[in-house]
Amino acid sequence: MSDGAGRWWSWALISWAVLASGLEGQVPSASNYLLSPDERARLEADLADVEARLAEVQALEFEMREAATLRPGNVGPDHVRRDVGPVEIRGPRHLLPAAAGAATHALGQFRGLSDADGALTALRIDIHDAGEVESLAPPYAGGSGTAVLVATAEDVRALVDHAVRRHVLEAIPQPLVPWSGGWGWDSAFRPDDGVRLMVQSTNRDGIACLQRRDLEACAGYLALSYDGSTESKLALLEYHYPASAFLPPTPVSETPRTDDLLGRCVFEQRRRGTPDARGTCLADLASREYATLGLLPSHPSARASLVAHALQLGGDGALTRLMRRPDGGSVGAHLAVVAGTSEAELVRSWQEDVSGRTGVFRSEGGERPGPASLFWAGGLALLALRSTRWRLG
Amino acid sequence: MGIQMLKLHWRAARWPMLPVLVAAFGLPLMAGSAAWGATYSVDHLSASGAVAVTDGAAVFGLTFAIVAAIAGSILGISAWSWDHRQDHVYALSLPVPRWKYSALKFGGGTILVGATTALFALGATTSSLLANLPAGLRAYPGALSLHFLIATQTAFALLFALASGTMRTATIVLGCVMGLAIFGVPLLDFLGNFWSPLGDFDLVRFAYATLVENDGPLSIFAGNWMLFDV
Residue A161 has pLDDT above 90, yes or no: yes
What confidence score (pLDDT) does residue B3 get? 86
Beta bridge partners of A79: A92
At A88, give phi and psi (nearest 5°).
-105, 120
Q: Is the pLDDT of residue B90 over 70?
A: yes
Q: What is the mean pLDDT of residues B59-82?
A: 92
> Distances in Å between the alpha carbon of A283 and those of A203, A277, B82, B86?
22, 10, 78, 83
Q: Are B6 and B101 within 8 A, CB to CB?
A: no
Q: Which of A300, A54, A34 is nearest to A183 (CA)?
A: A300
Buried b (16+ CB within 10 A) or exposed e, A131-167: eebebeeebebbeeebbbbbbeeeebbebbbbbbbbb
Give the tens place of pLDDT for each residue, A39-72. Answer: 878 888 888 888 888 888 877 766 665 565 555 5
Of B120, B108, B105, B127, the closest CA to residue B151 belongs to: B120
CA end-to-end span of chain B: 47
Confidence of residue A351 (pLDDT cuts 50, 70, 90): very high
The listed range with the strongest mean pLDDT (A32-46, B122-136, B195-209) is: B122-136
Q: Residue A142's pLDDT is what?
A: 56
Lowest mean pLDDT among A89-103, B32-46, B84-98: B32-46
How confident is the model at residue A389, as a pLDDT? Answer: 44
User: Averaged over B84-105, what is the pLDDT?
Assistant: 79
> Can you tell me the distance from the alpha carbon of A301 to that of A194, in angstroms, rounded to the nearest whole number?
5
What confidence score (pLDDT) does residue A388 get? 54
Could you give the CA distance from residue A238 to residue B203 in angstroms, rounded to a whole number?
53
Say if residues B140 and B35 touch (Cβ distance below 8 Å): no
Dist CA A362 CA A198 (whole Å): 15
What's the pLDDT band for A139 if we cut at 50, 70, 90? low
* CATH no., domain A79-171: 3.30.2010
**Whether B137 and A199 lie within 8 Å, measured CB to CB:** yes
Q: For A317, list phi and psi in degrees, rounded to 5.
A: 85, 5
With an 8 Å Cβ cutoff, are B164 and A372 in contact? no
The percentage of residues in chain A with a pLDDT greater than 90, rounded to a whole number, is 24
Three-state SS for B136? coil
In the DSSP assignment, the letter for residue B34 is G
- Categorize the per-residue pLDDT at B44 as very low, low, confident or very high, splitting at 50, 70 and 90: very low
pLDDT digits (tens, 9 = 90+) for B163-200: 887 777 778 888 888 888 888 888 888 888 888 788 77
Of A198, A200, A377, the CB nearest to B150: A377
pLDDT, tens digit (0-9, with 9 covering 90-100), for A290-299: 888 988 989 9
Using the predicted structure, report yes or no on whether residue A116 has a pLDDT greater than 90: no
Let me know the angle formed at the C-alpha of B149 by B147 and B155, rounded to the nearest 5 degrees. 100
Q: Is the pLDDT at B69 greater than 90, yes or no?
A: yes
User: Which uninterrupted H or E stretch holds A87?
Assistant: strand A87-92
Mean per-residue pLDDT of chain B: 85
Q: Nearest chain B residue to A352 by CA: give it.
A: B136
How many CB atoms are located within 10 Å of the residue B116 CB? 26
- Please provide the size of chain A in residues: 393
CA distance A79 to B11: 69
Q: How many CB atoms lie within 10 A of CB B109?
A: 28
Determine the distance in angstroms separating the CA of B175 from the nearest CA of chain A, rounded to an integer: 13
Tell me which residue in A199, A211, A366 faces B42 most closely, judged by beta carbons.
A211
Q: Mind listing the pLDDT tens digit for each residue in A162-190?
A: 999 989 998 888 889 999 999 999 888 88
**Interface residue A199 vs chain B (CB under 8 A):** yes
Residues whose CB falls within 8 Å of the CB of residue A59, separated by 6 or more in sequence, listed in order: none
Question: What does the radius of gyration of chain B's CA atoms come to, in whole angstroms?
Answer: 22
Return residues 209-248 of A near B (CB < 8 Å): 210-212
Residue A251 CB neighbours (<10 A):
12
Backbone angles phi, psi at B167, to 5 degrees: -60, -35
Cβ atoms within 10 A of the Cβ of A176, count? 25
Of A226, A229, A207, nearest to A217 (Cα)? A207
Structure confidence by residue, pLDDT tens digits, A248-294: 544 555 666 767 788 888 888 888 888 888 889 999 888 888 888 98
Interface predicted TM-score of the whole assembly (ipTM), two decimals:
0.72
Q: Which residue of B has its CA nearest to A381?
A: B157
Q: What mean pLDDT do residues A93-112 have?
A: 91
Contact B149, B114 (CB under 8 A): yes
Given B164, B169, B217, which is nearest A393 (Cβ)? Answer: B169
| Domain boundaries of chain A, sorted by first residue | 79-171, 192-356
Per-residue model confidence (pLDDT) at position B43: 47
Using pLDDT thresholds of 50, 70 and 90, give the confidence band for residue B45. Answer: very low
Residue A1: its pLDDT value, please? 46
CA separation (Å) from A260 to A205, A252, B39?
A: 20, 10, 30
pLDDT tier at B112 (50, 70, 90 boundaries)? Answer: very high
Tell me what the mean pLDDT of segment A208-224 comes to: 90
Residue/partner pairs of A221-225 with CB below 8 Å, 24 or more apart? A221/A297, A221/A298, A221/A302, A222/A298, A222/A302, A222/A303, A222/A306, A222/A347, A223/A179, A223/A296, A223/A298, A223/A303, A223/A331, A224/A330, A224/A331, A224/A332, A224/A335, A224/A343, A224/A347, A225/A330, A225/A332
What's the pLDDT at B161?
Answer: 85
Residue A304 has pLDDT above 90, yes or no: yes
Type of residue numbered A177: V
pLDDT category, A99, cuts 50, 70, 90? Answer: very high
Across the interface, do B164 and A384 touch by the CB < 8 Å criterion? yes
Q: Report whether pLDDT(A156) > 60.
A: yes
pLDDT for A1-46, tens place per residue?
455 566 667 677 676 665 555 544 454 454 555 677 788 788 888 8
Instruction: Give the residue from chain B lying closest to A362, CA to CA.
Output: B230
In a mutational test of the B interface, the residue from A202, A364, A385 whose CB has the highest number of chain B CBs within 10 Å is: A385
What gap in Å lies between CA B7 and CA A52, rounded to an integer? Answer: 87
User: What average pLDDT is seen over chain A?
Assistant: 80
The answer to whether the CB of A353 falls within 8 A of the CB of A359 is: yes
Contact A391 B169 (CB under 8 A): yes
> Which residue of chain B has the CA closest to A196?
B230
Residue among B211, B226, B221, B229 at smallest CA distance from B68: B221
The alpha helices in B33-97, defined as continuous H runs, are: 47-78, 81-85, 89-93
Residues A364 and B79: their CA atoms lie apart, in Å, by 35
Residue A135: alpha-carbon gap to chain centroid: 22
Tell me the average pLDDT across A229-235.
Answer: 91
- pLDDT bin (cut points 50, 70, 90) of residue A341 is very high
| pLDDT of A94 over the 80 cut | yes
| DSSP reduced 3-state for A89 | strand
Instruction: Report angle CA A356, A357, A363 to the nearest 5 degrees.
Output: 150
